[in-house]
Structure 1
Amino acid sequence: MKSRKNYAAAFILAAITAVLAGGYVYAATEHFSDSTTDQAWDAWTQKWETQVSRDYEKIALTPGADETKLNFAWYSKADGTATPKIEISKRSDMGQPVTFEGSTVPAIDGYLSNRVTADSLAENTTYYYRYYKNGVPSDTASFKTHTFNSYSMLYVGDPQIGASKGQSTSRGEKLENKSELNTAARNDAFSWNKTLNTAMNANPDISFILSAGDQINKNVNGKDPGNEIEYAGFLNADWIKSLPVSTTIGNHDSTNESYSFHFNNPNDTQLGKTTAGGDYFYKYGPALYVVLNTNNYNCAEHEQAMRQAVETYPYTNWRIVMIHQDIYGSGLDHSDSDGIVLRTQLTPLMDKYDVDVVLQGHDHTYSRSYLLKSDSKTHSNYNFHDWDNVSDEEGNVFPYSDASYQAQNNCYTIANTMSGGVTNGDGTLYMEANSATGSKYYELIPGKQDYIAVRNQNWNPTYSVICINSNTFAIDTYEIAAGKTRKIDDTYELKKTNASRR
């Protein structure tokens, strides 16, 4: 096994932070995306106040159990007759529609969550749809399918609408998230929409979005509606009503039920649950996607979910896992502390279930690993205790900088360091996505870890484009600066010459 680089600089910084602030403090930098500099800002502020911020009834599209299905979820008022119904047509005038009916569950006070699944979708087809709220149809919207066995996706990290709170704008305003206006959410929702529009203009054939968690920022508990204005900002983006989004539960989503009311995730395993929901999976063409709620530290349940997914779809050529916490990342705030709490438990599972790629969020920096495997040794397991400390299996509590914690997380081997890509490679690629909105950024860790191939922090919103077919997984990553895109990493490809799995 190759040893990790010395982290003395990081530990010294942590120690200084502990002395000054009484703990291992996680803090955003002064960098953020200031939307007030955009020429469209003034019109947006009007729209936010009069239309967006109190409209909780936006629809969300989610991938279905397989490529022929699509899931929908939306709020409607609870004071009328529930009509959880979707009409889908191949005609823009909604002629000859097919009707799909679903179910409702009580959501936040005064609202129902409607959930419907459409099936028998064909590839390379434009569909028009409308959904019903208390018997009244919505305006017509549309979505488009592409080739099922060769397609592209957007992979984004931490939109975290509302996380720019405390920052100061070009107009001298300090952003906040406590008032009914929530100026932080207003700022970040504008940037989220801008990122999606920029990415889709450059990549019009995207099939769906993969979001690695923290769709919103405000931590509230149970059915508290305090984060609904942030979900309103997230779901208001122009492309959301036309583009399915597969979301991961981030630590900012985890404590509140609103996530489960807004997203109708397929193949809900009822495993790995927190208040927001648990693990789920789906197949799309040649790939199996397993989305784990790593805010739950019960990896025995996560393994059950992975096993269930593989048994349901055993013959996909690619297996992709998406989690929020970055067990292999390179950001200062999480990558060597709470981000690796699950590393000793999850790394062997990626080997056991032959996972090709793990997509991560949480640390608001960009990195790409080498191909990694478990070192096949026995290591201690850990639990998240708080933002300053970790606990071991015996319940002992100690700081993240503790030498034994760091040493136990030397639980990997570097299987391949080839640049540009690998053919028939052994091991798992770990990607870390920076913020898609720029609502919050973190610094890179002082010394690049030996498992990291490439990393970046340019203080700009980023997104990745993943292209996949039976033989190739390719990923390109871009930053958005001054309205233009620029690649921040070379194209990286995983190839398989034998397309059949097992």
Structure 2
Amino acid sequence: MVHTKKIISVLLVFTMLAGCIGLSVNAADDLLLPDYTMSKSQWDQYWNTVEGDNTQIALTPGADATELNLNWHSERKAAVPMVKIADNENMDNAKVFLGYSTLADNDQQTNRVTVTGLEENTKYYYSYSLGKGNWSEPNFYITRSTDSFKALLVGDIQCSALDDGTGYKDATNWNTTLNTALKKYPDTSFIISCGDQTQTGASAIEWAATLSPKAMRNLPMATTIGNHDHKGTTYQHYVNNPNSQLVSTSKTGTPYWFRYGDVLFVVFNTTNANVFESHALAERAIMANPDAKWRVAIFHHDLYGTGHHAIDNDNYMLQGVYSAIMDKFEFDLAFDGHEHYYGRSYNMLNNEKVDLDYTAKKVTDPDGTLYITTASASGKNRVYDEPYHHSWINYSYMSPELIYCEVEFTQSTFNLKTYTVEGDKLIDEYTIEKTDFTYSAVDATETLLSTDALNRVLKHFMGDYYVIFEVFDKAVRAIWNAIASIIK
């Protein structure tokens, strides 16, 4: 009898442990994104419900991981935008957040709300309304740990309605890229889009196509302004970016920054000719986050890109200015697009390749900035007769295939993996390990003119004659410093 009781006791313990393990697995599974992949017929059926609908809600990262920004279009109405959020699908004990509206195109308005107080590793449900009634059906949003996280990195979604009037082709490819990436990495925290969300920058139909994938209701997307976005003014109506500049000389929208765990993301507008705004943005973001362990720049134009854009005169000007900003503020990484041709640079400092051992595809505490140029997420990739061989490119992949990058930040590493959608080919991987998380102090009295940005630009365009300017510049600076010391 005693022996039988011992056996029963042991079985009970194992049963309880199995139950606990089962609950743990179920809880973990509940924090993974579902499989969004569709057959062509399923996608076509779904497309019929969203085609041309620019009122679909969009999610944007908040100022940090405890916040979530939401925005959607509606007809113009004198009512307060509202979002309620709860940790259950029945929306019991939901908390309500109020927002504001601004006028948009086509007699519509943009409604923006920020949700705060979110906790890590929680599946939330949200619903939105304009006014007190007519709440939408609940949809989910999952928060994750910020100690280690993944983001989907893409560029040039560029949905176009010019060919078919709807953007169907590009939306289909974008949906395929997105769903494939999320099936492989269902623990992705958010999307980074390096500009050119639409083709014309002036079409509500094109924005409807870009926002059409189902996953866009559950996953925030951090965007930047590309040259195609800059062709029109619609970009500013389809985003709810955190920490954005209140005033900008750009007609398209304002740059911004956000933080996720120990990583600071600074999102620049390289279509804006007023580069002093970009310097001020970097300075303000970094001074507000002096303890960030990683600094990541996001912009559209490929400063050290893979194709013909990288050697345009316009791009050389941007390269001179923005590389000086990257160097001054010691950015670790820069994500960009524009080229429709994937590539990864060497670490660059002072407009030159940093001398490192790149053969192992892993570096530790490197100087300079690593630039990653994304391919087109809708497959609009450029394929030249021969690949370019720019001196700053460490690796490139020229192909018409759909391509995406998954980037991961841990406590001490940045990990990049780049895949093709068809065939799931790993075409590139790279790791940066950091043991030193210190940065130089920022002097708030210095402006862009305190950098050598102008010198870098002139050095390219003046060629051998640059030495004349260099001598003149050094003389002027010496005289200025002498006068300043006398005044002091």
Equivalent residue for 2:120? 123
Q: Map 1:27-176 to 2 at 5 A.
A: 40-41=39-40, 44-45=43-44, 47-48=46-47, 50-78=48-76, 80-134=77-131, 135-162=133-160, 176=163
Superposition TM-score, scaled by structure 2 size: 0.78
SS at match of 2:424: strand
Find out whether 1:243 has 2:224 as its counterpart: no
Partner of residue 417 from structure 2, selected from 434, 456, 476: 476
SS at match of 2:106: coil
Cα deviation code 1:134-180 (max 9, x no counterpart): 531111100101111210100001110018x6xxxxxxxxxx15xxx
Cα deviation code 1:1-37 (max 9, x no counterpart): xxxxxxxxxxxxxxxxxxxxxxxxxxxxxxxxxxxxx
C-alpha deviation, 1:338, in angstroms: 3.6
Checking the alignment, whether the CA contact within 8 Å between 1:68 and 1:121 is kept in structure 2 is: yes
Q: Map 1:306-385 to 2 at 5 A.
A: 306-374=282-350
SS at match of 1:204: coil
Equivalent residue for 1:278? 254
Checking the alignment, whether the CA contact within 8 Å between 1:372 and 1:416 is kept in structure 2 is: no
Equivalent residue for 1:498? 436
C-alpha spacing 1:92/1:46, structure 2 compared with 1 (3 Å): closer
More displaced stretch, 80-89 vs 227-236: 80-89
SS at match of 1:132: strand
Cα deviation code 1:204-234 (max 9, x no counterpart): 00000100000110244xxxxxx11111011
SS at match of 1:240: helix
Name the amino acid aligned to 2:430: Y
Superposition TM-score, scaled by structure 1 size: 0.76
Cα deviation code 1:192-213 (max 9, x no counterpart): 1111111000000000010000
Name the amino acid aligned to 1:498: D
Checking the alignment, whether the CA contact within 8 Å between 1:365 and 1:444 is kept in structure 2 is: no
C-alpha deviation, 1:116, in angstroms: 0.6
Cα deviation code 1:254-274 (max 9, x no counterpart): 233321111100001246642
C-alpha spacing 1:500/1:412, structure 2 compared with 1 (3 Å): closer
CA distance in 2, matches of 1:271, 1:346: 21
Equivalent residue for 2:464? none
For the aligned residue pairs, the C-alpha RMSD in angstroms reads: 2.0
Cα deviation code 1:280-325 (max 9, x no counterpart): 0011101100000100122221100100000111110000000101
Cα deviation code 1:470-494 (max 9, x no counterpart): 311111111111xx311111x2111
SS at match of 2:231: coil
Partner of residue 432 from structure 1, selected from 373, 377, 381: 373
CA distance in 1, matches of 2:410, 2:262: 6
C-alpha spacing 1:240/1:110, structure 2 compared with 1 (3 Å): same
Equivalent residue for 2:8? none
C-alpha deviation, 1:44, in angstroms: 4.2
Name the amino acid aligned to 2:144: H
Name the amino acid aligned to 1:121: L
Q: What is the number of residues matched between the two proteins?
A: 402
CA distance in 2, matches of 1:413, 1:51: 50
C-alpha deviation, 1:449, in angstroms: 1.3
CA distance in 2, matches of 1:39, 1:242: 17
Equivalent residue for 2:28? none
Equivalent residue for 1:35? none
Name the amino acid aligned to 1:496: K
Checking the alignment, whether the CA contact within 8 Å between 1:332 and 1:443 is kept in structure 2 is: no
More displaced stretch, 103-112 vs 434-443: 434-443
C-alpha spacing 1:93/1:350, structure 2 compared with 1 (3 Å): same
CA distance in 2, matches of 1:75, 1:85: 13
Equivalent residue for 1:266? 242
Checking the alignment, whether the CA contact within 8 Å between 1:424 and 1:494 is kept in structure 2 is: yes
C-alpha deviation, 1:439, in angstroms: 3.4
Partner of residue 190 from structure 1, selected from 155, 158, 172: 172
CA distance in 1, matches of 2:333, 2:303: 13
Cα deviation code 1:96-116 (max 9, x no counterpart): 101111100011122110011
Equivalent residue for 1:212? 194
Checking the alignment, whether the CA contact within 8 Å between 1:333 and 1:443 is kept in structure 2 is: no
Checking the alignment, whether the CA contact within 8 Å between 1:326 and 1:340 is kept in structure 2 is: no
CA distance in 2, matches of 1:258, 1:149: 35
Equivalent residue for 2:427? 488
C-alpha spacing 1:143/1:219, structure 2 compared with 1 (3 Å): closer
Checking the alignment, whether the CA contact within 8 Å between 2:381 and 2:400 is kept in structure 1 is: no
Unpaired runs of at least 5, structure 2: 1-36, 441-488
Equivalent residue for 2:466? none
The one of the two structures with greater contact order (alpha-carbon pairs below 8 A, sep at least 6) is 1
Q: Which has the higher helix share?
A: 2
SS at match of 1:217: coil
Checking the alignment, whether the CA contact within 8 Å between 2:408 and 2:415 is kept in structure 1 is: yes
CA distance in 2, matches of 1:238, 1:211: 17
**Residue identity (%):** 35
Equivalent residue for 1:416? 356
Name the amino acid aligned to 1:495: E
CA distance in 1, matches of 2:225, 2:38: 33
CA distance in 1, matches of 2:433, 2:371: 16
C-alpha deviation, 1:328, in angstroms: 0.4
SS at match of 1:276: coil
CA distance in 2, matches of 1:452, 1:424: 20
SS at match of 1:112: strand
State which structure, 1 or 2, has the greater radius of gyration over its C-alpha atoms. Answer: 2
C-alpha spacing 1:495/1:230, structure 2 compared with 1 (3 Å): same
C-alpha spacing 1:360/1:429, structure 2 compared with 1 (3 Å): same
Checking the alignment, whether the CA contact within 8 Å between 2:60 and 2:220 is kept in structure 1 is: yes
SS at match of 1:341: helix
CA distance in 1, matches of 2:72, 2:241: 13
CA distance in 2, matches of 1:286, 1:430: 20
Cα deviation code 1:328-352 (max 9, x no counterpart): 0111345545433311111111111
Name the amino acid aligned to 2:226: G
Checking the alignment, whether the CA contact within 8 Å between 1:270 and 1:277 is kept in structure 2 is: no
Unpaired runs of at least 5, structure 1: 1-37, 166-175, 221-226, 375-410
C-alpha spacing 1:235/1:472, structure 2 compared with 1 (3 Å): same
